[in-house]
C-alpha cells in the first residue's frame, strides 16, 4: 500500500520569499514521487518527478524537491515566490510494474502576497 501526507491545506508567502511545501510518503517498495500544480478548473501539470536517479530533482518554473529516504519525505521548494505561483499543489506517489497507479495527497493551496 502507498500513501501521501501533505500537512496543512494552505500556505501563504510574500512575493520573493521562500516557498516550502511538505510531502511525506509511505510505500512498501521504492517509490516514484511527483509534484503537480493545478490552476482553477484545469488539469494537472507536472512540476517534477523522482524516479530513483538523483535525489535532488529540478523541475519547471524554478521548483525543486529533494528525496530523503530516511525521512520518507519529498518536500517542494522554490527560492523566490512569484505571484504566478499561486495555485494548488499535489504530491503523489506511484510504484512501477503491473497495476501501478498514482496516489495523491490532499493538496496544498499556495497564496502569494504582494
Residues of the shown chain interacting with another protein in the complex, contacts defined by CB under 8 A: 6, 9, 34, 36, 41-46, 49, 90, 98-107
Question: Locate cell 506511484: which residue?
Answer: 94
Nearest distance in Å: CB 45, another protein: 8
Nearest distance in Å: CB 107, another protein: 5
8/16 with CB nearer another protein: 8
6/24 with CB nearer another protein: 6
Per-residue HEC secondary structure of 28-90 comes to CCCCEEEEEEECCCCCEEEEEEECCCCCEEECHHHCEEEEECCCCEEEEEECCCCHHHCEEEE
Amino acid at each position: 500500500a502507498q500513501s501521501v501526507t501533505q500537512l496543512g491545506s494552505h500556505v501563504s508567502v510574500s512575493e520573493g520569499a521562500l516557498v516550502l511545501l511538505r510531502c511525506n510518503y509511505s510505500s512498501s517498495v521504492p517509490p516514484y514521487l511527483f509534484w503537480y500544480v493545478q490552476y482553477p478548473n484545469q488539469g494537472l501539470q507536472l512540476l517534477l518527478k523522482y524516479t530513483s536517479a538523483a535525489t535532488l530533482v529540478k523541475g519547471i518554473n524554478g521548483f525543486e524537491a529533494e528525496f530523503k529516504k530516511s525521512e520518507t519525505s519529498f518536500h517542494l521548494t522554490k527560492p523566490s515566490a512569484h505571484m504566478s505561483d499561486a495555485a494548488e499543489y499535489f504530491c503523489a506517489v506511484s510504484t512501477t510494474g503491473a497495476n501501478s497507479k498514482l496516489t495523491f495527497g490532499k493538496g496544498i493551496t499556495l497564496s502569494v502576497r504582494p
